[in-house]
Amino acid sequence: MNNNWILPETQKDVDILRQEELTQKQNTESEAFLSNSLSPNYVLIDAALWGTDVDILLLDPTIVYRSLFRGSTGEELWSVAPYLVDISTNEKLIQIIKEKDPVDRRVTWLSSSLGIDELRKHLRHFLRMRKAIDK
């Protein structure tokens, strides 16, 4: 949100406070989720925000994951795709994910009784992408 009436120096302070508030809210939500005896068995990771760190998924044959993109789109956009990752049996991966910055990396912890393919199908309903518009 851009408020033209706020001085640039003050706007920087406001942005910092908003970021700190967002970080605190996400940490509180994560702690509440984990303390409610709900064990997350999946995470949703945005590869675009993980950069080369997404290789921890793609190069480890023991990690079960699915891209939410499919077909040629999934092949072309593999490096920026959202990935659903099964973490139910991989404590090491859970620790690696927890060490990443949850705000910058947009990690979403999920708990579901669905299998990975069923959950992927459900989550695909929420994908929204903008197409480039020729000008």
Q: Which tens digit of pLDDT belongs to each residue from 14-30?
A: 888 888 888 888 777 77
Nearest to 63 by CA among 72, 71, 54: 54
DSSP letters along 1-64, please?
Answer: ---TTS-HHHHHHHHHHHHHHHHHHHHHHHHHHHHTT----EEEEEHHHHGGGGHHHHT-TT-E
Residues forming a β-bridge with 84: 44, 66
**What is the pLDDT, as a whole number, of residue 129?**
60
**What is the pLDDT, as a whole number, of residue 115?**
93
Domain chopping of the chain, boundaries: 8-37, 39-124
pLDDT < 50 positions in the chain? none
Instruction: State the Cα–Cα distance between residues 45 and 63, nearest whole angstrom.
Output: 13
Q: Output the six-digit token pair for 34.
A: 């984990």
Residues forming a β-bridge with 110: 42
Q: How far is CA 75 from the centre of its chain?
A: 19
**What is the pLDDT, as a whole number, of residue 130?**
61
Instruction: State the Cα–Cα distance between residues 31 and 36, nearest whole angstrom.
Output: 9
The separation between the first and the last C-alpha atoms of the chain, rounded to the nearest angstrom, is 26
